[in-house]
Amino acid sequence: MHSNMFLIRYQEIGIKGRNRYLFENKINSNIKKALYPLGKGKIKITNMRGRILVALGDAEPSKAAEYLSRVFGIATFSPVIKIVAEEEAIYQSSEAVMRQALERKGIKLGENDNVLTFRTNVKRADKTFPIRSMDMAARLGSYLLDNIPGLKVDLHNPDLSVSVDIRDGNAYVFSEKLPGPGGLPLGTSGKGILLLSGGIDSPVAGWMCMKRGVEIEALHFHSFPFTGEKSKEKVKDLCRVLARHNNRIKLHIAHFTDIQKSIQKSSCPEDFRITVMRRFMFRIAERLAAKNNALALVTGESVGQVSSQTLENMTAINEVTKLPVLRPVVAFDKNEIVEMAQKIETYDISIQPYEDCCTLFLPKVPITTKPSLDKIHKAEESLDIDEMVNDAMEKIETIYITSNS
C-alpha cells in the first residue's frame, strides 16, 4: 500500500490525437516544476494512460495540493491510496479512506445519532480484474455498511463518495476531488508578449492566455522620471503572482520616456498622441517578440473601455504589427475583469495608487476615437520611427521574476 500520492486528471489533452504526447510531456514537466520547492528528487511522477500519478514521498500534502491547483491543464486531482487490485485489499483501503474522510470532516459516527450518507464508484479500466464495476461498487458498499456503523447509502446526493479506479493491475482509492485550474499545459501553445501596464486588465489577460497554454513574457513601459521606482515594483509584484503558474516570468522593462518626449515635441496633433504612443508600444513589442521567438502579442484591451480602445483605434494600432494580437478580455465588462483579477489575486496589487505611464502625458484635449490611418500616418510623419524604436530596444532591461523574488 502506498499513500501520500495524488492522482491527477486532465481534460482536453485526451483529445489531442497524435500530438498527445507533447501535451503529456509538458504537463508532466510543469507538475515537476510546480512541486520542485517540496524537494528535489523526492517526488516521483508517473504517466498512466489518461492520468498522472504523483508520489510525494515525505513532502507536505497540503502544500502539494496548493501548488497543483495552479498547474494549467489539470482538471481535478485527488489524494489517493495505491494498492494491488485485489478485492480484499480494496475493501480495507476503502475503509481507511472513509475513516480518514470522517476525521477530516470532524464527524464522529455513532455519537448523537450522527448519520453520514455515501456512495461508492468503481471504474474498471483494467478488464482483467474479475468483478464488474457495478457489482464491485455494490459489494464495496455493503462492506463499508457492515464495518462502519452510522453510514447510509445515498446514490444521488451523498455526503461523501468513495471511489476506486482500477487500472494496470492496481487500484487507486480516494474520496476527495480537488479542482485544478483547467486549460492546457503552459508552453504547449507557443509564447506571447504581454503588454503589462500595472492596471487591472493586463494581468488578467496574461493569466487567461497562460491558461490556454501560452507562455508569457511581460513587457512593461517605464517612464522614469514621470513614473517612479514604485510603479516598477508594482509590475514586478504582478509578475510574482503570475509566476506562481510558471515558476518564473521573464519581464522586459522598456524605457519609454524618450519616445514620449519625442512625440510631445513633434508635429503630432495632441488628440493623436495616445494612439501614436500605443503604436510605438506595439512596434517595440513586435521586435521583442521576434527576438524571443514569441508568436503573438497579448493585451488587456477591452473594446470601448477607454477612448483609445475603440475598434478604430485598435485598427490603427494593429497596423504596425503582423503578429496576432490576443485580447482575451476584449468583450468583458470592467466588473467581470475585476472579478477575475480578484480570483487570480492580482487585483489588490493593481489598485495600488502608483501612476502607470499612460496617465501622464495625457493630452489636454479628448483623444480621437476614430482616427483614420491616413491621419495617423501624417501624425507620425515627422518622427524618425526606426531610430526611436531601435533606441528603445537597446535600452530594454530584462529580469526574471519568480514567485518568491
Partner 1 sequence: MKQEIYLDNAATTKPTKAVVQEMVQCLEHIYGNPSSVHRLGVEAERVVTRAREAVAGILKANPKEVIFTSGGSESNNLAIKGAAYALAKRGKHIITSEIEHSAVYSLCQDLEEDGFEVTVLPVDKEGIVQTNDLKAALREDTILVTIMYVNNETGAIQPIEEIGKVIDAAKEANKIPLWHVDAVQALGKIPLYPAKMGINMLSLSAHKAHGPKGIGALYISKGTPLHPQISGGGQEMGLRSGTENVPAIAGFRAAVSDFKEMQQDAKHMAKLRQMLVEGILKNIPDTRLNGLPPGNEQAAPHIANISFTGVRGEVLLHSLEGEGIFTSTGSACSSRKAVEHRVLNAMGLSNEEMEGAIRFSFNAQNSEEEVVIVIEKLKEIVKELRSFA
* Residue ranges that bind partner 1, judged by CB under 8 A: 224-229, 261, 264-265, 353, 360-361
Check residue 246 and report its DSSP letter.
Answer: T
Taking the CA atoms of residue 320, residue 321, residue 325 and residue 331 in that order, the dihedral angle to the nearest 10 degrees is 20
Q: Which is nearer to partner 1, 205 or 259 (CB)?
A: 259
Q: Which is nearer to partner 1, 141 or 198 (CB)?
A: 198
Sequence-distant (6+) residues with CB within 8 A of 174 are 7, 78, 79, 80, 81, 97, 162, 163, 165
Q: Give the residue among 157, 149, 388 at the shortest CA–CA distance from 259.
A: 388
Q: Determine if residue 307 is left, alpha or beta; phi over 0 gives left, psi from -120 to 50 gives alpha, anything else beta.
A: alpha
In contact, 327 and 205? CB cutoff 8 Å: yes
Minimum distance from CB of 49 to partner 1 (Å)?
Answer: 56
Minimum distance from CB of 277 to partner 1 (Å)?
Answer: 14
Minimum distance from CB of 371 to partner 1 (Å)?
Answer: 23
Partners of 178 in beta bridges? 77
Q: Which is nearer to partner 1, 225 or 366 (CB)?
A: 225
Minimum distance from CB of 264 to partner 1 (Å)?
Answer: 6
- The cell for 302 is 477591452
Minimum distance from CB of 263 to partner 1 (Å)?
Answer: 11
In contact, 43 and 32? CB cutoff 8 Å: yes
Q: Which is nearer to partner 1, 17 or 225 (CB)?
A: 225
Minimum distance from CB of 220 to partner 1 (Å)?
Answer: 16
Minimum distance from CB of 392 to partner 1 (Å)?
Answer: 17
- The cell for 319 is 497596423
Q: Which is nearer to partner 1, 26 or 232 (CB)?
A: 232
Q: Indicate if the alpha-carbon torsion angle 134, 3, 146, 109 is positive or negative.
A: negative
- The cell for 273 is 498622441
Q: Which is nearer to partner 1, 227 or 308 (CB)?
A: 227
Q: Which is nearer to partner 1, 79 or 199 (CB)?
A: 199
What is the DSSP secondary-structure string of 372-385? -HHHHHHHHTTS-H
